[in-house]
């Protein structure tokens, strides 16, 4: 039976926003964000988890609390293992401090043991994730330098080590519950050659997983046409389900209360989609249609990255300012934007 199309949102900052007093509203009425999102057609929530984040959010303790809220609403749940104490992305894949001095064999065991520990804790309270990511945007590898595979580290020996680390995580997840959907996530939504090369390597090294995950941000990854071509090729080449697990688009270029937005100029926007509430809504509608039109029906859905990261405070646990609040699906005061209507049946 085909799974429902995923209309997903990564709201990992929600916990911190609420602690700071941030609120969300529709038609002037304040409401629990998760309730509001579900009513708007959202059916899945993604959370990131960090091992021991110094800021105290996105750790296991806080993830357990958030998972209860997600499952209480009957929402699908994706957990994104970064295997780091902070951001893991193509520019940095730093080991957790507690793992820095481990041998490679010990590191591989740590990945498996930690994955098991987290999933058992969630399972015990009845909130086991439906899907997990083993690593976040792992195009250049993970747990550097042991699992690094870009630049001078792009060698067969390094790919063997990198994929062994990934296999430790995937095996642990499947051992907890074989029905957990395992995603492998890279950042190259519009880069066909790099995407194909990456998943061919995983095929070569025998990494078993269920879903291909891609990030697609137009100012970094190309056009919607680039995304369409990449999705079509990946679907036909690998025959796996594909989820565009991160995207976003601006509703304004006016920085308002945020110091310096990541997207701050017209040159960074996609042709045909102005940085306005209407332009953002048009982007989401057309983006969704590309995923729905994938060959073989292999497009399983998407997640908007941090649609609710409003400027509720000036200093954040992650150690930098909020540079994302013009890429959300809520305005600076937490009021729902029209792009969310794109998720509802016509």
Which residue's structure tokens are 């990511």? Answer: 133
Radius of gyration of the chain measured on its C-alpha atoms: 19
Give the side-chain half-sphere CA count within 13 A for 211.
26
Sign of the torsion angle spanned by Cα atoms 57, 46, 339, 278? positive
Active site residues: 137, 246
What's 194's DSSP letter?
H
**Phi, psi values for residue 319, rounded to 5°:** 85, 10
Long-range contacts from 92-101, C-beta under 8 angstroms, 24+ separation: 92/144, 93/135, 93/138, 93/140, 93/141, 93/142, 93/143, 93/144, 93/147, 93/148, 94/144, 95/143, 95/144, 95/146, 96/51, 96/52, 97/52, 98/51, 98/52, 99/51, 99/143
DSSP 340: G
């Amino acid at each position: 039976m085909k799974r429902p199309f995923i209309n997903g949102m990564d709201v990992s900052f929600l916990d911190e926003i609420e602690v700071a007093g941030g609120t969300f509203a529709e038609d002037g009425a304040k409401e629990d964000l998760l309730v509001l999102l579900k009513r708007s057609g959202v059916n899945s929530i993604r959370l990131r988890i960090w091992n021991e984040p110094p800021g105290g959010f996105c750790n296991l303790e806080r993830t357990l609390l958030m998972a209860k809220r997600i499952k209480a609403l009957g929402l699908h749940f994706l957990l994104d293992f970064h295997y780091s104490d902070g951001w893991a992305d193509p520019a940095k894949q730093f080991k957790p401090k507690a793992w820095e001095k481990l041998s490679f064999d010990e590191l591989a065991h740590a990945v498996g043991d930690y994955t098991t520990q987290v999933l058992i804790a969630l399972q015990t309270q009845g909130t086991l994730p439906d899907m997990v990511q083993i690593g976040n945007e792992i195009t250049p590898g993970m747990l550097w330098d042991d699992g690094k595979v870009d630049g001078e580290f792009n060698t067969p020996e390094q790919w063997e080590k990198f994929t062994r680390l990934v296999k430790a995580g995937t095996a642990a997840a499947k051992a907890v519950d074989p029905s957990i959907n395992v995603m492998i996530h890279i950042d190259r939504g519009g880069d066909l050659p790099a995407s194909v090369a990456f998943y061919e390597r995983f095929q070569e090294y025998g990494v078993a997983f269920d879903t291909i995950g891609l990030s697609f941000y137009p100012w970094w990854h190309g056009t919607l046409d680039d995304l369409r071509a990449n999705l079509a090729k990946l679907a036909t080449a690998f025959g796996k389900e594909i989820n565009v697990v991160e995207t976003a688009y601006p509703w304004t270029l006016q920085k308002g209360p945020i110091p310096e937005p990541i997207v701050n100029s017209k040159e960074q926007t996609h042709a045909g989609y102005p940085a306005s509430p209407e332009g953002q809504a048009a982007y989401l509608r057309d983006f969704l249609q590309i995923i729905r039109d994938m060959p073989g029906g292999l497009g399983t859905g998407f997640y908007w990255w941090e649609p609710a990261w409003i400027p509720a405070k000036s200093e954040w646990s992650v150690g930098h300012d909020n540079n994302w609040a013009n890429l959300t699906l809520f305005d600076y005061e937490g009021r729902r934007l029209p792009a969310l209507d794109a998720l509802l049946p016509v």
